[in-house]
């Protein structure tokens, strides 16, 4: 999604803003732009495509300034084009960058046009800059003009605003979209996330919903949604500028796949005393909350939703905890029936997914008393709005395709199954088994990563394919879904997942020699059933790739390629079987030459509906 970086300093901010934009590239975008004020004039550069194009444009015709705003745009209103790229400018004097969607832009556009403002883009954002310019004519003060503009805006926004008559002032505000202030020495910056600002500071202020901030080189004043002056805490980040570096890897995604053993260890760290999981791992009031709840409702999107699907099996099968799960974008509009003593669990790597946030708010409106988030982004909106929190501590995930965030979500969910399950029917034996398997998980992840070369060779079978099917059963059906999502996201191959028992109810019609069928087949109580499904595919000439640690039986079937997996306990096998599927999609994407870390049309942090 769109990314904002801006700053006010006693030095030229252009290189800082360009570096910041590069660090926001992972969020997904289609154009980039930057504007500065120099000698009382606004200078702007915009380019369709990558930030390096913008950088080249500026190198060829340099601009500089001690105040500037910059942006990567992910098109929502109006196609990707230079004309639609931010910053947008009004009356040659006001410039704005925006993340979010202004829902009433049509109405505002009509009234601004009637008042003589000419629009040069198709964006919803342009109404904001003209509205501020219109208010400036009345208020003659930048902060006042922004404050009187905001009540006219319906929807979500994070904004950076500057005015050529006030080159000493930068305004930042947010509602529904994230925005953080970077605190420097004699300088301030704003950005959509802290990654953009790590080269200049590790001290951050997270703006709250409705906040408006006025920044000068030596002063920062924040007003809350009611207009009252407020202090917001400064948070010291542990992240360093090089935490978001590819290191020896060709892509962030590959690096992140390889970081999973470490990420899992980090997620487990400090949550146990001996072998006993502490309720307090989820927050100080966790024990009290867990004692009261009667069921669990999981809400999430995309990959995080798949993690929740696995957890539903665990909650119900191991602990008899009634557990429902729904895609957040559906839940928020369905007017669901939910009882107040349900624990609403949201799962999100970014903590900013607009649908998940809105679904949580909807659940609260419906009377739910307790919420818990599993999240990888400290200080994110979901973390701030939830009663209980478990951070996944996977470190920054830059590749748009989620990998280590997913496996650490599963680890966090297993811990939640223990903590809640104890209050239901989870036996001591099961608890001990889960804990010991969790402790052994990093070692098993290292083992499965050794399959990388085998999977790289296997990927050649997919390079010329248009479609693929993924099959699994039980907890491995969501893993098949995750495998299919990864493949389509980064290789653009159409991939679908089915619970293998559903094959004969329709998808079997798709099977022919052109259809690779990836099957996730660990040695568990469903393996015999799955073998029959495999036979159904093989008999029709389907090309099977089976990930398994057991044996198939008649093994010389030329339609079947078996990838031998390490044997692991059933409880952790969904985590282990995810990893070869991540590697498979990665290698197929590399072969196809796609943009692995920033696949087309996608964004890392989906902050709009
Ligand atoms: C994962 O590979 C995807 N990029 C996407 O499905 C993602 O999981 C989804 O947008 C939810 O994001 P979140 O975890 O940040 O809420």
Element (H, E) at 319: helix 302-319
Q: How far apart are CA 437 and CA 442, in angstroms?
A: 10
Q: Kindly report the backbone phi and psi dihedral angles of residue 342, in degrees, each rounded to the nearest multiple of 5, phi listed first.
A: -90, 140
Task: Supply the Cα-derived Rg of the chain in whole angstroms.
Answer: 25
Residue 554 is predicted with a pLDDT of 59
Q: Is the minimum distance from the CB of 403 to ligand 1 under 6 angstroms?
A: no
Residue 219 is predicted with a pLDDT of 93
Whose CA is closest to atom 12 on ligand 1? 348
CB-based burial of residue 64 (10 Å sphere; 0-12 exposed, 13-18 middle, 19+ buried)? middle
Whose CA is closest to atom 14 on ligand 1? 348
Q: How do residues 232-250 score in pLDDT, each as one tens digit?
A: 999 888 777 766 778 899 9
Q: Is the minimum distance from the CB of 392 to ligand 1 under 6 angstroms?
A: no
**Under a CB-based contact definition with an 8 Å cutoff, are residues 160 and 4 in contact?**
yes
Three-class secondary structure of residue 397 per DSSP: coil
Is residue 555's pLDDT more than 60? no
Is residue 513's pLDDT more than 80? yes
Q: How far apart are CA 398 and CA 259, in angstroms?
A: 12
Find the 604 Cα to ligand 1 centroid distance in Å: 7
Probe target for ligand 1 pocket from 253, 301, 485, 489, with the most ligand atoms within 8 Å of CB: 301
Element (H, E) at 326: strand 323-327
* Residues with catalytic function: 2, 604
Residue 269: strand pairing partners: none
How does residue 503 score in pLDDT terms, banded at 50, 70 and 90? confident
Residue 214: strand pairing partners: 171, 221
How does residue 27 score in pLDDT terms, banded at 50, 70 and 90? confident
Q: How far apart are CA 4 and CA 88, in angstroms?
A: 13
Q: How far apart are CA 466 and CA 432, in angstroms?
A: 45
Shortest CA distance to 8 belongs to which of 203, 200, 199? 200
Is residue 108's pLDDT more than 90? yes
Residue 535 is predicted with a pLDDT of 83
Q: How far apart are CA 148 and CA 131, in angstroms?
A: 9
Is residue 180's pLDDT more than 90? yes
**Under a CB-based contact definition with an 8 Å cutoff, are residues 237 and 202 in contact?**
yes
Shortest CA distance to 303 belongs to which of 400, 206, 233, 209? 400
Q: Is the minimum distance from the CB of 407 to ligand 1 under 6 angstroms?
A: no
Q: Is the minimum distance from the CB of 376 to ligand 1 under 6 angstroms?
A: no
Distance (Å) of CA 57 to CA 52, 86, 116, 278: 9, 15, 32, 55
Q: How far apart are CA 159 and CA 418, in angstroms?
A: 42
| Exposed e or buried b per residue across 205-243, where buried means at least 16 C-beta atoms within 10 angstroms of its C-beta | bbbbeebbbbbebeebebbeeeeeeeebeebebeeeeee
Q: Which residue has the tokens 């809350």?
A: 224
Residue 236 is predicted with a pLDDT of 86
Label the pairing between strands 94-102 and 155-163: antiparallel
Mean pLDDT of all residues in 538-554:
85
């Amino acid at each position: 999604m769109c990314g904002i970086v801006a700053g006010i300093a006693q030095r030229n901010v252009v290189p800082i803003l360009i570096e910041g934009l590069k660090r926001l590239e992972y969020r997904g975008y289609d154009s980039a732009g930057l504007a500065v004020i120099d000698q009382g004039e606004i200078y702007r550069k915009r380019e369709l495509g990558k930030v390096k194009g913008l950088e080249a444009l500026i190198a060829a015709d340099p601009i500089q300034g001690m105040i500037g705003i910059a942006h990567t745009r992910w098109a929502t209103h109006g196609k990707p084009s230079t004309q639609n790229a931010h910053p947008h400018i009004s009356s040659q004097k006001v410039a704005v960058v925006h993340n979010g969607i202004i829902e009433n832009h049509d109405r505002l556009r009509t009234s601004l046009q009637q008042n003589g403002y000419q629009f040069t883009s198709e964006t919803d954002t342009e109404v904001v800059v003209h509205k501020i310019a219109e208010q400036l004519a009345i208020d003659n003060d930048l902060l006042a003009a922004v404050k009187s503009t905001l009540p006219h805006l319906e929807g979500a926004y994070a904004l950076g605003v500057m005015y050529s008559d006030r080159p000493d002032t930068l305004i930042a505000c947010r509602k529904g979209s994230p925005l953080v202030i970077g605190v420097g020495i004699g300088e301030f910056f704003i950005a959509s996330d802290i990654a953009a600002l790590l080269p200049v500071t590790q001290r951050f202020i997270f703006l709250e919903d409705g906040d408006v901030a006025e920044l000068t080189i030596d002063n920062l004043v924040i007003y809350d949604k009611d207009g009252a002056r407020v202090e917001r805490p400064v948070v010291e980040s542990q992240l360093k500028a090089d935490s978001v570096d590819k290191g020896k890897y060709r892509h962030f995604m590959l690096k992140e796949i390889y970081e999973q053993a470490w990420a899992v260890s980090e997620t487990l760290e400090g949550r146990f005393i001996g072998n006993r999981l502490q309720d307090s791992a989820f927050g100080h009031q966790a024990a009290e909350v867990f004692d009261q709840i009667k069921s669990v409702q999981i809400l999430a999107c995309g990959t995080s939703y798949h993690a929740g699907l696995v957890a539903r099996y665990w909650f119900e099968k191991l602990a008899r905890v009634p557990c429902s799960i729904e895609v957040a974008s559906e839940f928020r509009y369905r007017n669901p029936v939910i009882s107040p003593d349900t624990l609403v669990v949201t799962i999100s790597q970014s903590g900013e997914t607009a649908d998940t946030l809105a679904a949580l708010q909807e659940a609260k409106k419906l009377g739910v008393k307790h919420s818990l988030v599993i999240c990888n982004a400290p200080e994110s909106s979901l973390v701030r709005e939830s009663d209980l929190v478990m951070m996944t501590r996977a470190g920054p995930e830059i590749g748009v395709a989620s990998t280590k965030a997913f496996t650490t979500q599963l680890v966090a969910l297993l811990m939640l199954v223990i903590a809640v399950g104890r209050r239901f029917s989870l036996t001591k034996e099961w608890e001990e088994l889960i804990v010991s398997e969790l402790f052994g998980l990093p070692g098993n992840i290292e083992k499965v990563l050794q399959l990388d070369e085998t999977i790289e060779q296997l990927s050649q079978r997919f390079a010329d394919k248009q479609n693929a099917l993924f099959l699994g059963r039980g907890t491995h059906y969501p893993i098949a879904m995750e495998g299919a999502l990864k493949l389509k996201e980064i290789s653009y191959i159409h991939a679908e997942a089915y619970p293998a028992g559903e094959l004969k109810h329709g998808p079997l019609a798709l099977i022919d020699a052109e259809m690779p069928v990836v099957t996730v087949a660990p040695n568990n109580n469903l393996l015999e059933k799955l073998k029959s499904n495999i036979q159904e595919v093989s008999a029709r000439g389907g090309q099977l790739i089976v990930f398994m640690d057991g044996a198939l039986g008649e093994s010389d079937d030329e339609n079947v390629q078996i990838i031998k997996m390490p044997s692991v306990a059933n409880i952790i096998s969904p985590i282990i079987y995810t990893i070869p599927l991540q590697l498979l999609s990665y290698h197929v994407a590399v072969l196809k030459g796609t943009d692995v870390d920033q696949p087309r049309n996608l964004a890392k942090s989906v902050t709009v509906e």
